Amino acid sequence: MSTTSRTLLLFTLLIMITLVLAFGAALAQQEDGVPVTVFVDEDSLSVYVPSRGVVSLAGLGFRWTEGDETESFYLDEFPAFAIPFDTLPTPVCFRLVRADTELPPPPECAVAETRLIEQPVEALGTFWFSPALTETRTLLLLNEESVLDLCPAQQNVCMFTYQAGAPAGEATPEFAALLEIASELVEVEGGTFTLGTSMREVEEAVAACLEGYGGEAGACDIFQGEDAVPPHPVELTPFAMEITEVSYTQYVTFLNTLGPDSHLMACGEETCIQTTEESENSLIAFDGETYTVLNQAGNLPVTEVTWFGAQAYCEALERRLPTEAEWERAARGSDDRIYPWGDTWNPALASTNRPLEGNPQVLLVESFTAGASPFEVLNMAGNVSEWVHDWYSATFYLQQADAVLVPENPTGPLSGTQRVVRGGSWNELPFFARTVQRQMRQPSSASPLTGFRCVEGEPLVAPATPTPVPMTPSPEITPEAQPEIAPTATLIE
Q: Say yes or no to pLDDT of 61 above 70.
A: yes
Give the closest residue to 159 by CA, choosing from 291, 40, 25, 316.
Answer: 40
The pLDDT assigned to 467 comes to 38
Sheet holding 92-98, edge to edge: 115-121, 92-98, 44-49, 34-40, 157-162
Mean pLDDT of all residues in 164-173 = 56
In contact, 228 and 397? CB cutoff 8 Å:
yes
Q: Say yes or no to pLDDT of 397 above 90.
A: yes
Please give the share of the chain, as a percent, with pLDDT higher than 90: 54
The CATH number assigned to the domain with range 181-456 reads: 3.90.1580.10
The pLDDT assigned to 488 comes to 37
Mean pLDDT of all residues in 183-191 = 95
The pLDDT assigned to 177 comes to 85
In contact, 420 and 204? CB cutoff 8 Å:
no
pLDDT tens digit sequence for 5-40: 555 444 444 444 344 334 343 333 444 578 888 888
In contact, 429 and 353? CB cutoff 8 Å:
yes
pLDDT band at 460 (very low <50, low <70, confident <90, very high): confident
Please give the share of the chain, as a percent, with pLDDT higher than 70: 78
The pLDDT assigned to 38 comes to 86
| Residues counted in the chain | 493
**Every domain of the chain and the residues it spans:** 35-165, 181-456
Q: Say yes or no to pLDDT of 71 above 50.
A: yes
Mean pLDDT of all residues in 464-485 = 42
Strand partners, 159: 37
Class of residue 473 by CB neighbours under 10 A (exposed 0-12, middle 13-18, buried 19+): exposed
Mean pLDDT of all residues in 198-217 = 94
pLDDT tens digit sequence for 346-364: 999 999 999 999 999 999 9
Class of residue 190 by CB neighbours under 10 A (exposed 0-12, middle 13-18, buried 19+): middle
Q: Say yes or no to pLDDT of 387 above 90.
A: yes
The pLDDT assigned to 463 comes to 58
Strand, helix or coil for residue 391: strand
pLDDT tens digit sequence for 263-285: 998 887 689 999 999 999 999 99
Across the chain, what does the average pLDDT equal? Answer: 82
Least confident of 111-125, 205-219, 387-401: 111-125
Q: Say yes or no to pLDDT of 237 above 70.
A: yes
Gap between the Cα atoms of 227 and 340, Å rounded: 20
Least confident of 73-87, 215-229, 426-440: 73-87
pLDDT band at 77 (very low <50, low <70, confident <90, very high): confident
pLDDT band at 368 (very low <50, low <70, confident <90, very high): very high
The pLDDT assigned to 396 comes to 96
Q: What letter represents residue 1's amino acid?
A: M
Give the closest residue to 340 by CA, choosing from 364, 305, 376.
Answer: 376
Gap between the Cα atoms of 421 and 432, Å rounded: 10
Q: Say yes or no to pLDDT of 289 above 60.
A: yes
Least confident of 167-176, 294-303, 349-358: 167-176
Cβ partners under 8 Å of residue 96, min gap 6: 44, 45, 46, 78, 118, 119, 121, 125
Question: Which one has a higher pLDDT value, 52 or 221?
Answer: 221
The pLDDT assigned to 172 comes to 60
CA 83, distance to chain mean position in Å, is 31
Q: Say yes or no to pLDDT of 223 above 70.
A: yes
Question: Which one has a higher pLDDT value, 145 or 230?
Answer: 230
The pLDDT assigned to 255 comes to 95
The pLDDT assigned to 135 comes to 53
pLDDT tens digit sequence for 129-141: 555 554 556 677 7
pLDDT tens digit sequence for 316-335: 998 999 999 999 999 999 99
List strand residue ranges (DSSP E) for 304-391, in order. Answer: 385-391
pLDDT band at 60 (very low <50, low <70, confident <90, very high): confident
Strand, helix or coil for residue 159: strand
In contact, 379 and 413? CB cutoff 8 Å:
no
The pLDDT assigned to 455 comes to 97
Give the closest residue to 381 by CA, choosing from 327, 433, 450, 454.
Answer: 433
Report the range out of 82-86, 93-97, 337-341, 477-481 with the highest average pLDDT. 337-341
Question: Which one has a higher pLDDT value, 249 or 51?
Answer: 249
Mean pLDDT of all residues in 119-127 = 65
